Structure 1
Amino acid sequence: MPETPAERLAHFVSELEPTAVPDTAMQTAARCFVDTLGVLLAGTKEGAGPLTIRSVRKRSGGGPSPLAGTDAYASPTDAAFANATAAHSLDFDDYTVAVPGHTSAVLVPALLALCSSEKALGRSVSGKEALCAYVAGFETMNFVGAAIRPSHYDAGWHATSTLGVFGAAAAGASALRLGTEQTQHALCAAASAAAGVRRNFGSGTKPIHAGTAARGGLSAALSAAAGVTAASDALSGEYGFFDLYAGTTTPDIDSLPELGSPFALVDDGVIFKKYACCGAAHTSVAAAEALVEDGLVASDVARATLSGPKRLEDILRYDVPSTPEEAKFSTRYPVARALAGESGGLSGYTRDALDDELVLDLCHKVRFEVDETRPYHDSGVTVHVELSSGESVTASQSARPGSPVDPISVSELRQKFIECTAETLGDRAPSAFDSVLTIEDAADVSDVVDPLLSTQTP
């Protein structure tokens, strides 16, 4: 009898060893760790991150896992929830089109919280084990999503959360070294914690989706380790996850990918964000930046038209934003900032930045129109600018900035980390970047990362 999807996953996750993971995947996972740590620490200062951390700290009875940006500790599941929310708070964390969603904002905080907890129990999780667990979680999110994409996301589900909970369960099971049966229980239990709707994009609840996925998946793994069971066909059985979350199409279980052959983390890769806004806006920003690099001056702009697939209109719902969260999900604002020659980084998405008169003026000059010739899930856009002189200039962008096709360099990643951690790590940021980027060599992950997360003096 053929294995069910849950059985296939359980065998893959429980049997995956660091030596079986391609070097490229391990290197990418390490970059995901350091990039996520950077945006996590930045996310402790603004948005839903500090609010969630404060709430958890107030009600937590303590524990082994650091609450980022504080001197407080909590249970691993509470720390995973709070820190994952902070990691996604500024929408500056990496993502992948394959899922589609933000993998690392869920997986890394869940793993870091678990590593701290395991250390308190007298067991170390090495850098190699943690990176291997990350890969297991990433491959799991891709595998589960393959049966129901793109209709699952198109129906309104936020895959970062609904698929992330399976990734966190797999990563937790791997780091805990659970056997195949317990791993299957963890994955099937995670199906009951899948939630998150796209309508909350542009609000403070969107980053909490990453938090609930990290907490739900880690809880499923810890519960399975304690002996809690789940229905063995909770993914593919009647009234299971695929049945209920597939959207408008029938789940394509027969075409699920072969796990680890190839690795999705190698073939599809991760997109490291260059701009602190929704990834759907990034090709638009890059196209506008190209015009400025070619000599466009903001004061010469009479009108700008952004044309792209209808998907942009559906995701980027806010024209002229009134909050930093809305600005990250605007068709106009990111383009206006780029046309103004202003930063697309963290400083561009604050309340003060929203009051920039030049950017506001340009916002009202930018309009979006659907390019019916582009497929719905295409990433390509064109920015056409009419100048006050009567002339016009145009730029197009298809490749997503920061993707394997248009990759971010290690030096750019380092600069982003330093920007993100300026307030929390200060002069320690460069050495912290180096230590986390090479975390594969660490004997115990928590020895490297906990002092960076916690403000408590060692």
Structure 2
Amino acid sequence: MTRNTHVAADTDPPAITAILARFVSTHPGRGWNDAVEREAVRTFYNWLGCAIGAARHPAADAALAALQMLEPAPQAAVLGRSERLDMASAALLNGITSHTFDFDDTHLKTIIHPAAPVASAILALAEQRGASGRALLDALVIGIDVACRIGNAMYPEHYDRGWHITGSTGMLGAAAGCARLLGLDTQQTGMALGIAASQPIGLREQFGTMTKPFHPGAAARAGMLSALLASKGFTASARALEAPRGFVQVVSNKRAWHEVSDALGERFEISFNTYKPFACGIVIHPGIDACVQLRAQGVQPQQVERIELRVHPLVLELTGKKTPRDGLEAKFSVYHGCAVGLIFGRAGEAEFRDEIVNRADVMALRGKVHATVDDSIDEAAADVTAVLRDGRSLHVRIGHAIGSLQRPLDDAQLDDKFMSLVEPVLGRAKGTRIGQECRALATLADMRALTALCVP
């Protein structure tokens, strides 16, 4: 599947680097409505649970061991662990863990997971500086806006080329959020964005490996370093984003410049953020949702002759692994997602553990899932039929999966998800306290009060 076409360079693009720098540095604090503020809190809360939940994953162990070889100064917390690192390394590691389960937030228009790079960078910096919860929320909203607006301008062409758009725009969002937290002026913020523009990170080839979550972590570190460099007078091109040989025109033939500037400061992309009920690639969610519904209708795995799945072409392009070998690979297997949805009635992180992926009944049902491409089906949809051994067929069509903008997780469902991730690592009592602090995030005088709770 490809949508690439050759497009000549735009030699007279709008000055989006300067436009974004002015927005980041001058937009009023809490300069949005209550709905935007609510999603900012929900985004941070969801991200924090995902980061803590994966604190003991082998990817976290390996990354921490490597970073400790650098003998870092103990400036910031590693969420869910007792170790401390320098703030840039903490941003990297917390970015890795927050995306390891593939359970973090999704900006559906671009498939960007914006909190992983942005929140990971600004929390580590906020802890080192003793910044307030209000300052962190402002940086989060603004940083996510920058990353997703650039994504809007390039998606889907940039993604179709093979870029992992979370990493390849995340360094810009992280730089913007950190510049805001540091109080950089417009000129310095432009330099931070310019420095970050030379550090796009992430290729889709890495999906299903530990390097996929490395992308947002590395973007968080790159964005933070860009802002720190700019704060000390380090320079970059003032047209680093839009110039003919600048970031956008080099990595994408789609250049919808208006997506960057339209309603800037009035419409906030965090408003369109969503939170996953299933711990895997977002395009699998409609198929899982359908299989969960089939189970609720009484379909049992042993009754199934085959499961016929019709999906958009992107689903098989991204998640067509028929025989995943471990949990990371299974997160990109629509076959595994449908199998566990029918067997367990859910697809949380537990259903993507290695032992479940290689369990005999799961493997058997996975082999009965037959997926075919149907260009008439939207990326957000799936058409699923369970053909039973007794000759009956049960059909479910999903237009929008649970967790989408049309069927969002409510606060109680988000609480349940958060506790399912945090309780195994830190215990229920501490998880409850962290949740209370997150709900009062705007009133926290010092983010170190929260990070102190997020370690064993």
TM-score normalized by structure 1?
0.93
Q: 2:255 aligns with which of 251, 258, 261?
A: 251
**Partner SS for 1:113:** helix
Hey, what does 2:268 align to over in structure 1? Answer: 263
Kindly indicate whether the alpha-carbon contact (under 8 Å) linking 2:112 and 2:148 is maintained by their aligned counterparts in 1: no
Query: 1:236 aligned to 2:236?
Result: no
Q: State how far apart, in whole Å, the 1-side matches of 2:410 and 2:249 are.
A: 41
Task: Give the residue type in structure 2 aligned to 1:312.
Answer: V
Hey, what does 2:391 align to over in structure 1? Answer: 390
**Partner SS for 2:423:** coil
**Partner SS for 2:198:** helix
Hey, what does 2:348 align to over in structure 1? Answer: 345
Hey, what does 2:170 align to over in structure 1? Answer: 164
Q: State how far apart, in whole Å, the 2-side matches of 1:255 and 1:176 are.
A: 26
Q: In the superposition, relative to structure 1, how do residues 436 and 255 fare at CA in structure 2: closer, same or farther (>3 Å)?
A: closer
Which sits farther off after the overlay, 392-401 or 249-258?
249-258
Number of aligned residue pairs: 443
1:255 deviation in Å? 5.1
Task: Give the residue type in structure 1 aligned to 2:150.
Answer: V
- CA displacement 1:48-70 (0-9 Å, x = unmatched): 22321232134232231112333
1:452 deviation in Å? 2.7
Q: In the superposition, relative to structure 1, how do residues 162 and 280 fare at CA in structure 2: closer, same or farther (>3 Å)?
A: same
- CA displacement 1:409-432 (0-9 Å, x = unmatched): 111111111110122220311121
Q: In the superposition, relative to structure 1, how do residues 19 and 373 fare at CA in structure 2: closer, same or farther (>3 Å)?
A: closer
1:201-216 matched pairs, under 5 angstroms: 201-216=207-222
Structure 1 unaligned runs (5+)? 120-124
Kindly indicate whether the alpha-carbon contact (under 8 Å) linking 1:324 and 1:349 is maintained by their aligned counterparts in 2: yes
Kindly indicate whether the alpha-carbon contact (under 8 Å) linking 2:14 and 2:242 is maintained by their aligned counterparts in 1: no
Query: 1:76 aligned to 2:87?
Result: yes
Query: 1:18 aligned to 2:22?
Result: no
1:342 deviation in Å? 4.5
Q: 1:293 aligns with which of 293, 296, 319?
A: 296
Hey, what does 1:308 align to over in structure 2? Answer: 311
Hey, what does 2:7 align to over in structure 1? Answer: none
Hey, what does 2:18 align to over in structure 1? Answer: 7
1:47 deviation in Å? 4.1
Q: State how far apart, in whole Å, the 1-side matches of 2:268 and 2:351 are.
A: 36
Q: State how far apart, in whole Å, the 2-side matches of 1:188 and 1:22 are.
A: 30
Hey, what does 1:373 align to over in structure 2? Answer: 376
Query: 1:416 aligned to 2:417?
Result: yes
Structure 2 unaligned runs (5+)? 1-11
Q: In the superposition, relative to structure 1, how do residues 6 and 44 fare at CA in structure 2: closer, same or farther (>3 Å)?
A: same
Q: State how far apart, in whole Å, the 1-side matches of 2:147 and 2:30 are.
A: 21
Displaced runs of 4 or more, over 4 A? none
Q: What percent of counterpart residues are identical?
A: 28
Hey, what does 1:173 align to over in structure 2? Answer: 179
Q: State how far apart, in whole Å, the 2-side matches of 1:322 and 1:117 are.
A: 40
Query: 1:92 aligned to 2:103?
Result: yes
Q: In the superposition, relative to structure 1, how do residues 413 and 371 fare at CA in structure 2: closer, same or farther (>3 Å)?
A: same
Hey, what does 1:122 align to over in structure 2? Answer: none
Task: Give the residue type in structure 2 aligned to 1:49.
Answer: A
Q: In the superposition, relative to structure 1, how do residues 250 and 324 fare at CA in structure 2: closer, same or farther (>3 Å)?
A: closer
- CA displacement 1:108-152 (0-9 Å, x = unmatched): 111110011112xxxxx2111111110101110122122211100
1:71 deviation in Å? 2.6
Q: State how far apart, in whole Å, the 2-side matches of 1:61 and 1:431 are.
A: 29
